[in-house]
Chains A and B, each alone.
Chain A
Amino acid sequence: MTDVIQLDGVEKVFEVRRKNGRRLRRERKQVRAVDGITFSVPRGEMVGYIGPNGAGKSTTIKMLTGILTPSGGQVRVAGLDPSRERTRLARRIGVVFGQRTTLWWDLPLYDSYRLAHRMYRIPDDRFRANLDRCVELLDLGELLDVPVRQLSLGQRMRGDIAAALLHDPEVLYLDEPTIGLDVVSKAKVRTFLRDLNKERGTTVLLTTHDLTDIEQLCERVMVIDHGRLVYDGALAGLHEVGGSERTLVVDLERELAPIELADARVVKVEGPRQWLAFPASASAAPLVAKIAERYPLVDLSVREPDIESVIARMYADRGLH
């Protein structure tokens, strides 16, 4: 069996009670947070799982970790039924909740790792090897003796990722692993995850709001909206389907008339700075070359489309909304 994660028609229905106007009677409403999702992830794949807030992302992750029991359908992770074999599964998966640290606030970082060592009963040699590796690649050497409360957000996130990997998990779930991090920390985290996936063959499922994460890490992306899987494939394909656009922000030497190019259009001009939109599936390089050739270029940057707008365009094209 090469599929390490399998979902078959998985549903999660919540019953929401709310007070109904002046009447004391409460009205019950069913909310289908996850509405029949089917997908599988082969061992060693790195998959992005994206969608707007409230789309059902975290509900899915909670069913994959065994926190929530599905209302319908089948879930298998590493050959186990997550909701019935939750504690057994816990030994074989690693989970990083972006905004909730599992590290011990008042204790040196190393103490949290020592607890994991004993709680997961990690053999001494495995623990040593894994910790050394994480310390080296995530640059934690000088942080091990520092109380967690004194760490920066980026340092803490790196610490959390290491904590989730000490017991050699087969599957790693990351919920917004780069949220709020500075550019350097983001880069470190991404490089680390890429190496982990390549060298260990760890299967990684990550949710994110940052399409750059997906672009640099994942060959495959799944989009969920309103509890349904609306896209499953390569990131480039998602841009094609959605016809989404990236933005090239160009700083010229002086104020000029809007740049004229065949494959990009100016969407905004502000003094010497101009914004050009171009198809996200196209490369920025030829565009930059053409501009540099014809205009006095000072600086430029490329902005990825955000997930919300990609999905919004996807719907607009299909006439779903």
Chain B
Amino acid sequence: MAETVAEVTVRHRDAPVGRLRGAAEGVRAYRLIAGMWIRSTLAYRASFLMTALGNFLATGLDFVAILLMFSHIDALGGYTLPEVAFLYGASGAAFGLADLVMGSMDRLGRRVRDGTLDTLLVRPVPVLAQVAADRFALRRLGRITQGLLVLGYALLTLDVHWTPLRALMIPLMLLSGGAIFAAVFVAGGAFQFVAQDASEVQNSFTYGGNQMLQYPPTVFAKDMVRGVTFVVPLAFVNWLPAMYVLDRPYPLDLPQWVAFTPPLVAAGCCALAGAAWRAGLRAYRSTGS
């Protein structure tokens, strides 16, 4: 009896350490596999350069559409061009970051269907890292670059009285925002354990969410804004911190301090996504499909 109790305490004390070690192993495995994919892409150098350029241009055209719009109007939902560019750049760069690291999660369903997920399960490294690093594509840097360029343009043209706290919001948006999007990618991947053809559902939250965040919240219906604040908390990626920087009223009459909560929201999202992932993997291992 005494032995069992001791064993249980040891296991409990080890649990967080084990998880931390697992995370370190995951990052290491991710780097190894991503490195292999980079070498694979560089085997076709010309094709890599063209897709990277294409990626950059395709995302770039997106912003050109906004520029065209502003050649006819002075404000969109009460926001000027530099303000919209600020929202656009922050969301684009944060999403680009998540897309670079986790963008391959939508391939999980295919791996489940064709059975190649099994080959990942017999390796001594975390499955999540292997799935996330699958087909790691440097061309996705095109999206980040484009987002950062638009953000840079916004910072140069914005009429804002910069304080340390306001400046702090920029890295906070990119990092927390990236983490929130990454959590959505992982949760979407976990969902594909159950529904293997659900990658489009995930895309509507990731790519679709990014599209939405590039415009001010004032142009959307209240229920939609409520949804991306309280259900899938994408509003914390850029809207709320940006409202603080731009000194704009918050959507849904939220208090001012919520602008500082994105790191907490991101941590919560990642924890939930991690739990969903583990549940999904457990379900797969009991059903095999």
CB within 8 Å of B: which residues of A? 14-15, 59, 62, 65-69, 71, 83, 86-88, 90-91, 93, 95, 97, 100, 102, 104-107, 111, 115, 118-120, 147
Decide if B285 touches A67 in the complex (CB within 8 Å).
yes
- Complex Cα distance, B26 from A119, in Å, reads 11
In the assembled complex, the Cα of A66 lies from the Cα of B43 at a distance in Å of: 35
With both beta carbons as reference points, the residue of chain A lying nearest to B289 in the complex is identified as: A14
Report if B29 contacts A (CB, 8 A).
yes
Residue of A nearest to B44 (CB): A106
State the CA gap A95–B119 with chains docked (Å). 8
- Please state if A66 and B40 are interface contacts (CB–CB under 8 Å): no
Can you list 16 A-B contacts (CB < 8 A)? A15-B287, A65-B122, A68-B286, A69-B285, A87-B125, A90-B124, A95-B122, A97-B119, A100-B118, A104-B36, A104-B40, A106-B43, A111-B36, A115-B32, A115-B36, A119-B32
Q: Is the CB–CB distance between B123 and A107 below 8 Å?
A: no
B32 & A118 in contact (Cβ 8 Å cutoff)? yes
Q: Please determine whether A107 and B40 come into contact, CB atoms closer than 8 angstroms.
A: yes
B11 to chain A, nearest CB (A): 12
Starting from the known contacts A88-B124, A119-B32, 8 additional A-B residue pairs (CB-CB under 8 Å) come to: A14-B287, A66-B121, A67-B118, A95-B122, A104-B40, A107-B40, A118-B32, A119-B123
Listed residue (A83, A87, A120) with the most chain B CB atoms within 10 angstroms of its CB: A87
When A97-B118, A104-B36 are in contact, do A119 and B43 touch as well, CB less than 8 Å? no
B: number of interface residues (CB 8 Å): 24
The answer to whether A14 and B288 touch across the interface, beta carbons within 8 angstroms, is yes
Q: Any chain A CB within 8 A of the CB of B115? A: yes
- The answer for the CA separation of A88 and B124 in the assembled complex, in Å, is 6
Residue of A with least CB distance to B118? A67
Complex CA gap A317/B32 in Å reads 55
The reply to whether A119 and B29 contact each other, CB–CB distance below 8 Å, is yes
- In the complex, how many angstroms separate the beta carbon of B112 from the nearest chain A beta carbon? 12
Across the interface, name the chain B residue whose C-beta is closest to A33.
B288
Q: Is B39 an interface position by the 8 A CB rule?
A: yes
Cβ of B218 < 8 Å from any Cβ of A? Answer: no
Closest approach, in angstroms, between the C-beta of B168 and any C-beta of chain A? Answer: 38
| In contact, A147 and B43 (Cβ under 8 angstroms) | yes
Task: Give the number of A-B contacts (CB < 8 Å).
Answer: 67
- How long is the Cα–Cα vector from A83 to B286 in the complex, in angstroms? 10
Cα A102 to Cα B121 in complex, Å, equals 12
B116 at the A interface (CB under 8 A): yes
For the residues of A in contact with B, the DSSP-based class is: mixed
**What is the CB-to-nearest-CB distance from B287 to chain A, in angstroms, rounded to a whole number?**
6
When distances are taken between beta carbons in the complex, the residues of chain B under 8 Å from A71 are 286
Cα–Cα distance between A97 and B285 once the two chains are bound (Å): 18
Verify A102–B124 contact, CB threshold 8 A. no
Instruction: State whether A67 touches B287 (Cβ < 8 A).
Output: no
**Would A91 and B124 be within 8 Å (CB), given that A83-B285, A104-B40 are in contact?**
yes
Q: A165: shortest Cβ distance to chain B, in Å?
A: 14
Query: Out of B39, B119, B288, which one reaches A102, CB within 8 Å?
Result: B119
Give the contacts of B21-73 with A (CB-CB under 8 A): 29, 32-33, 36, 39-40, 43-44
Contact A67 B40 (CB under 8 A): no
Cβ-defined contact, A87 with B288, below 8 A: no
Shortest Cβ distance from B170 into chain A, in angstroms? 36
- Least CB separation from B116: chain A residue: A100
Whether the Cβ atoms of A100 and B119 lie closer than 8 Å is yes
Give the CA-CA distance A14 to B286 in the complex, in Å.
8
Query: In the complex, which residue of chain B has the Cβ closest to the Cβ of A105?
Result: B40
In whole angstroms, how far apart are the Cα atoms of A164 and B285 in the complex? 22
B residues near A93, Cβ cutoff 8 Å: 122
Contact partners of B282 in chain A: CB under 8 A: 69
Partner of A68, one of B36, B39, B126, B288: B288
Contact call A100/B286, Cβ cutoff below 8 A: no
Give the distance in Å from the alpha carbon of A15 to the alpha carbon of B40 in the complex: 40
A86 touches B119 (CB 8 A): no
Q: How far is the CA of A208 from the CA of B39 in the complex (A)?
A: 35
Interface membership of chain B positions 195-239, coded 1 if the CB is closer than 8 angstroms to chain A and 0 otherwise: 000000000000000000000000000000000000000000000
- Shortest distance between the CB of A213 and any CB in chain B (Å): 22
Most chain A CB within a 10 A radius of its CB, from B116, B121, B282? B121
With A119-B29, A119-B32 already in contact, the answer to whether A69 and B43 are too (CB < 8 A) is no
Closest to A99 in B: B115
Q: Which of B122, B125, B285 has the most chain A CB within a 10 Å cutoff?
A: B122
